[in-house]
Structure 1
């Protein structure tokens, strides 16, 4: 029996990949005032971005233990060997909650065959791990082989992204009010990444949209120049800015000759914090030896 891959909605993978590889998704909770939504199920990201542009504020909440219990009980009863690749522990309590629930469920279902992997990643950077695991599972690879590859991806996946408006990072507590105001006045576009500990880190500040995209391409060279970028699957996602995403794709194609891309809109769980206009690129900084 093939290994089953599950994840949560922060992986931001396109529906065709999720359906094509039979990847089950546990939705993250998104709240607007007193109303609760399920990311990707009862809240469309386009609606979220429209509301955010109109001044609405969304917040996110952890996946409740009851949701994990339901999914993990299904796994136990099916007898499937399963890997749950989850949102970075540096940005959410999802991983810790999943592990606690898994351990508790094993007391009731000792046969539960479930490994929980901390992606230390977010959005399509996280999604590329899920995608790779699903490809390997479909090819009949063992759980041990998949876990070994995931460990490599966790350590070598790069996230390079920029936000269009610092106001959204201010709302999420990532920058001060003064930084958001001054940044807006000066057209400052921050470049951020997610280091190996899975947290969020500012890298540089660049003035102007075109310059920030050019700098993101340069950082790809600096961090991935020895990783055979041309033959990688490159992840790109956007906060309701498909034109910006396609421009970034064309720049990467021209610079590195890449042909394989996963491109998608940023879902509501991540978009609630990053806001509309966000652009991200994801790649490996080293080539896996098993490839």
Structure 2
């Protein structure tokens, strides 16, 4: 029996890939206008960005314990081996909830064959880890090989991104270390990355055009074996700039493939419109 890959909606993979690779996706919750929505199911990220531009402040919450319990029970009853690759535990309580519900389900189904991995990744950086695991699962790779590959990819996944307004991240408590980046000068763009699952500032850059060029320079400094990689770019309702970055990367590196998709509702509610994020491996592709 092949291994079932489970992810949550913070992976930001397009629905087409979720479907093609048979990934089981559970949703974080988005709270907007006194209503609750399921990320990637009952709300579109464009709705969230438009609401933020209108001055609203959507909030999010982790995947519900009940959703995990029902999902894990269904696979326990089927005797299905599973790997749940989770959104970074430094950015959400979803991983911890999954671990708790696994333990609860195991009390009734001690043979549950479920492995939970904290990817320490977010958005399409997380999505690329999920995608590689799902590709292996579709090739009927062993559970051990999938776990080994997922560990390799999560440990070597770079996240380089910029936001239009750090206030969104500050509001959600996501960038406590980035407070020093908030200045009064116009057109200062923060460049951030993810370190041990946390959002950490790298530098500040003057000018929108310069920040894209600098992202490519950072990729050159950190990336390895790009010609064999699928790299990813996610954006906060700013496809034009995402495509500009993709064109710069294509010219510089000729990667195997470039995946572009919006930052989903659960992460976008914290990063805000105008976010541009770049994801790649800093080690040879496997």
Bin the TM-score by the shorter chain: over 0.9
Query: Does residue 100 in structure 1 map to residue 126 in structure 2?
Result: no
**Structure 1 residues 178 and 251, CA gap change in structure 2 (3 angstroms):** closer
**1:177 CA drift (Å):** 8.4
**1:64 CA drift (Å):** 1.6
Q: What is the correspondence of 1:32-51 to structure 2 with a 5 Å cutoff?
A: 32-51=32-51
Match of 1:131 in 2: 131
**1:170 CA drift (Å):** 3.2
Match of 2:218 in 1: 219
Structure 2 contact 166–182 (Cα < 8 Å) conserved:
yes
The 1-side partners of 2:2 and 2:258 are apart by 26
Structure 1 contact 124–235 (Cα < 8 Å) conserved:
yes
**Structure 1 residues 258 and 178, CA gap change in structure 2 (3 angstroms):** closer
Query: Does residue 153 in structure 1 map to residue 153 in structure 2?
Result: yes
Structure 1 contact 236–264 (Cα < 8 Å) conserved:
yes
**Structure 1 residues 234 and 179, CA gap change in structure 2 (3 angstroms):** closer
SS of residue in 2 equivalent to 1:186: coil
**1:30 CA drift (Å):** 1.1
The 2-side partners of 1:208 and 1:70 are apart by 48
> Which of residues 267, 270, 274 in structure 2 aligns to 1:270?
267
Match of 1:109 in 2: 109
SS of residue in 2 equivalent to 1:112: coil
Structure 1: gaps of 5 or more residues: none
Match of 2:198 in 1: 199
> Which of residues 217, 225, 241 in structure 1 aligns to 2:238?
241
The 2-side partners of 1:112 and 1:263 are apart by 36
Match of 1:285 in 2: 282
SS of residue in 2 equivalent to 1:264: strand
1:11-43 CA distance string (max 9 Å, x none)? 000111000001111000111253211111111
TM-score, normalised with respect to structure 2: 0.96
The 2-side partners of 1:83 and 1:47 are apart by 31
Structure 2 contact 181–190 (Cα < 8 Å) conserved:
no
Query: Does residue 88 in structure 1 map to residue 78 in structure 2?
Result: no
SS of residue in 1 equivalent to 2:95: helix
The size of the alignment, in residue pairs, is: 284
The 2-side partners of 1:246 and 1:45 are apart by 18
The 2-side partners of 1:243 and 1:259 are apart by 21
In angstroms, what is the RMSD of aligned CA positions? Answer: 1.5
Structure 1 contact 39–267 (Cα < 8 Å) conserved:
yes
